[in-house]
Structure 1
Amino acid sequence: MTIPMSADEQRLLDKTWFYRFRLPSGRVTATYDDGALDAIHDTRLAMLRDVVSRRFGESLAGHDAIDIACHQGWFSTKLLEMGADRVVAVDTRDEHVADTRLVRDALGLSKLDVRQSDVHALDRAGLGQFDLVLMLGLIYHLENPIGALRQARALTRHMCVVETQVVPGMSGMVDYGSYRFVRPLKGSFGIIDETDDTHGPEASTTGICLVPSLEALFWIMRKVGFSRVELVPPPADGYEQLVHGKRVMVAGYVD
């Protein structure tokens, strides 16, 4: 039996998406490059489910979440599938907010609250705190990743999950003004130029990107107030960048 499509569902099917959305009729959206990018999303989702279940159990029932830089809202929908009571999806780009609202309406997700804001301009007092904070694929597109991580910590009641590209680390001692005053490096940042790509939906909005090393990410997350930080292991058959540590998923805990 074929389930009829709504007008919103038809609008989703008329477009090529970054993510593969399964719709109420059973149809699935087309994705970029004939699905070439689907593997990275599947791997990130498997890792997210693993770390979320270890902290909250098999269901997110009784818990709320915020998805910062939600893109088209795919991970927000997955949090609702995991049982979250409420999910706030936030993005700075007009088209991402519109896409996420279209997805929400087509899938009938009344518990998905879609808002528009830059990460640095989030209304922390108005939003309050969330049991789970997602910040996937964001900080390596920012010129102020530390400020973004401070925002994430302020919004976190229990756990924050950060996923990002990382650069090779540097270690050693540095003369800090004089050979008599020496300080250890706690990590490093790489500078990536996206100034010609700011029009792209998956790029920086400013073009200047500071990408942390894994050591820097761990150190910063602890310094902004996470009591414990851990690396989320990828599945052995996962997307190659996550398997080989070129991208990482890290969980920061408040309690």
Structure 2
Amino acid sequence: MTDVEARCLARQWFYPFRLASGQVVPTYPPPEVAPVHTTRLAMLSEAVQSHFGDLPRETLAAIDLACHEGWFAHQLQDLGFGRVRGFDARADHVEHARLAAAGCGRDLPFEQADVHALDAAATGRADLVLCLGLIYHLENPVGALRTAHALTAEGGLCLVETQVAPNLSGPLDYGHHTFVKPMMGNFAIVDETEETHGPETSTTGICLVPSLEALLWVLRKVGFRDVRVLPVPADGYEQLRYGKRVMVAARR
């Protein structure tokens, strides 16, 4: 057993990485939560095939925002993308992503960067941008979606997966009862200020969770086209099956 493999097997992971030796690392999500990984992957794979079809994927680039341990970057490489990069705000996530890639025998670059600090001119655009499990942990989800749009190449695809809040709609007095604006959706405030040490939580503690209607409206307003909610497999993770989470495909 190599030192890298021993280090991989010595800790528990969020994702079920299969190492180059064939061994699968120990994981900590409970069995009822683990299907979120396979459900997201099935939905992602179908969206990629629908959008890119038979294009030679070795010519395509992909970016995984808030990549965590890098598992979806591995999946993108398996789907044939020629250049895959991952970014995450947490230094320990980047460290773990690099370790997992080494243990799995993969050449994948991971960099530490907050989504709001990424600049398309410096970073470069990608044909596919993943934004999975990110925006509902942010205090500025609209800014993150603007970044995702800027990083998506013309004609490219962005996949956004998030928890969603119940929606509010209807008229809203806007300064006076004679001046009324329609509500286009809403964001729910969730407090994670005591949980910022957690690996799957906010780095600031203030979280704005969009309703589905707000998410779709904002995606269109920041410049995406053909925004659509992806279908969920019949045996998919319960949060996605019941619409408490969604994955949305947005074409630039």
- Separation (CA, whole Å) in 2 of partners of 1:202 and 1:65: 22
Identify which of 126, 129, 134 aligns with 1:130: 126
Identify which of 102, 114, 127 aligns with 1:105: 102
Structure 1 match to 2:185: 187
How many angstroms does 1:123 deviate by?
A: 3.0
Query: Could you list the runs of 5+ residues in structure 2 that have no partner in the other structure?
Result: none
Amino acid paired to 2:129: V
Structure 2 match to 1:239: 237
Amino acid paired to 2:213: E
How many angstroms does 1:108 deviate by?
A: 2.4
Superposed CA RMSD in Å reads 1.2
- Separation (CA, whole Å) in 2 of partners of 1:225 and 1:102: 36
Structure 2 match to 1:65: 62
- Separation (CA, whole Å) in 2 of partners of 1:166 and 1:34: 22
- Separation (CA, whole Å) in 2 of partners of 1:8 and 1:227: 43
- Separation (CA, whole Å) in 2 of partners of 1:60 and 1:67: 16
How many angstroms does 1:33 deviate by?
A: 4.5
Matched residues, percent identical? Answer: 56
Amino acid paired to 2:234: A
Structure 2 match to 1:175: 173
- Separation (CA, whole Å) in 2 of partners of 1:143 and 1:199: 16
How many angstroms does 1:9 deviate by?
A: 1.5
Identify which of 17, 23, 26 aligns with 1:21: 17
- Separation (CA, whole Å) in 2 of partners of 1:188 and 1:104: 38
How many angstroms does 1:14 deviate by?
A: 1.0
How many angstroms does 1:60 deviate by?
A: 3.0
- Separation (CA, whole Å) in 1 of partners of 2:124 and 2:86: 14
Structure 1 match to 2:198: 200
Conservation of the 8 A alpha-carbon contact between 2:186 and 2:214:
yes
- Separation (CA, whole Å) in 2 of partners of 1:161 and 1:61: 19
How many angstroms does 1:208 deviate by?
A: 0.4
- Aligned pair count? 249
Query: Does structure 1 residue 91 correspond to structure 2 residue 78?
Result: no
Runs of 4 or more, structure 1, over 6 Å off, are: none
Shifted more, 242-251 versus 28-37: the winner is 28-37
Amino acid paired to 1:142: L
- Separation (CA, whole Å) in 1 of partners of 2:50 and 2:24: 30
TM-score by length of 1: 0.95
Shifted more, 13-22 versus 174-183: the winner is 174-183
Amino acid paired to 1:166: V
1:17-69 per-residue CA deviation (whole Å, 9 max, x = no partner) reads: 00000111111011114644321111111111111110112673321100000
Query: Does structure 1 residue 31 correspond to structure 2 residue 31?
Result: no
How many angstroms does 1:179 deviate by?
A: 1.7
Structure 2 match to 1:77: 74
Structure 1 match to 2:117: 121
Change (3 A) 1:209 1:34: closer
Shifted more, 27-36 versus 220-229: the winner is 27-36
Query: Does structure 1 residue 9 correspond to structure 2 residue 2?
Result: no
Query: Does structure 1 residue 43 correspond to structure 2 residue 56?
Result: no
- Separation (CA, whole Å) in 1 of partners of 2:31 and 2:84: 27
Amino acid paired to 1:144: N
Structure 2 match to 1:139: 135
- Separation (CA, whole Å) in 1 of partners of 2:30 and 2:127: 36
